[in-house]
Structure 1
Amino acid sequence: MLSRWNPRQEFNALSDQLNRLFDETLAPARNWEGFTKFPAAELTEADDAIHLKLEVPGLEAKDIDIQVTENAVAISGERKSETKTEGKGYTRSEFQYGKFQRVIPLPTHIQNTKVTAEYTNGILNLTLPKKEEAKNKVVKVNLE
């Protein structure tokens, strides 16, 4: 049996494969349950400290583990499932549950014993004071 070659169909298949490749590469990593493994983060650097903001909605402060070294921050936690039953015999939920963890390297050494944290409305704010020698110091150089 002969079949007619359809270049448009081949192009559409190739386009779909490329879209899937870019979606998997650029999207946040997800586990099999669909839960994002890496919470969104924003890192800003000031003269005296590094400020790290992470988006971890739906968690209580007790469910978040923060470990800080002089050059990295490790955040982990877990969203736990609550089972509900409906009168019709099934429950539909679009909430996603699971574990996450993220290690964020820092651009400079910090005083990890003086880190402060604040957690409000699903946003974790860490203030990471720089070590004295890591602060930007301006030194005047004289030319003779």
Structure 2
Amino acid sequence: MRWPIRRTFFGPERWDPFEEIRRTQERLNQLFEDFMPMEEWGWGGRVYTPAVDIKEEDDKLVVTTDLPGINKEDVEINLKEDMLEIKAKTGKEKETEEEGYIRRERAYTQFYRAVRLPTSVKEEGSTAKLENGVLTITLPKMQLEAPTKKIAIE
């Protein structure tokens, strides 16, 4: 079978369907990466970096992120100056007996996200709630008093 010839800037080029399939697979992989990005760690595990929404209201910031399948005991939230750090992990263990031996399968998932907050917040009065796989963090804004400046009249 002869492949069709495609004209390019550099001259005629044969069309390779396998190359087209490879490029399509790369584009699909990029779409999944954009939806739920992951990082490879040295020991072979994967860490998901979930999307974070930050909503600024009058006197507070409301941060939401999706943490599906995570219990509240497995979530750690740290606040350092204007950085909010969210860590979560979950593990599942499955045990089955097969032909006289026991097989155990384990699956671990970790989530990690650190974001710079748009304004200063205070730790006192901050709350966090995990409901139906959605983590909502409410952070009160720090009230900065602007010093009053007088202008002298000439």
For 2:134, give the aligned amino acid: I
Choose between structure 1 and 2: higher helix proportion.
Answer: 1
Quote the residue 2:37 is aligned against. 29
Counterpart contact for 1:49–1:127, Cα < 8 Å: yes
Pairs within 5 Å for 1:69-108? 69-85=80-96, 97-108=108-119
Quote the residue 2:11 is aligned against. none
Quote the residue 2:15 is aligned against. 8
| RMSD of aligned Cα (Å) | 3.3
**Bigger Rg, which one:** 2
Deviation of residue 98 (structure 1)? 2.0
Pairs within 5 Å for 1:98-137? 98-133=109-144
Choose between structure 1 and 2: higher strand proportion.
Answer: 2
TM-score (normalizing by structure 2): 0.65
Q: Which runs of 5+ in 1 are unaligned?
A: 135-144
Counterpart contact for 2:55–2:62, Cα < 8 Å: yes
Aligned length in residues = 130
> Aligned residues: percent identity?
25
Pairs within 5 Å for 1:19-58? 19=27, 22-23=30-31, 26-31=34-39, 37-58=48-69
Deviation of residue 82 (structure 1)? 1.6
TM-score (normalizing by structure 1): 0.69
| Structure-2 separation of matches of 1:127 and 1:30 | 26
Q: What are the superposed Cα offsets for residues 102-130 of structure 1, whole Å, 9 maximum, x if unpaired?
A: 10110111112321111212111111110
Higher relative contact order (CA 8 A, sep 6+): 1
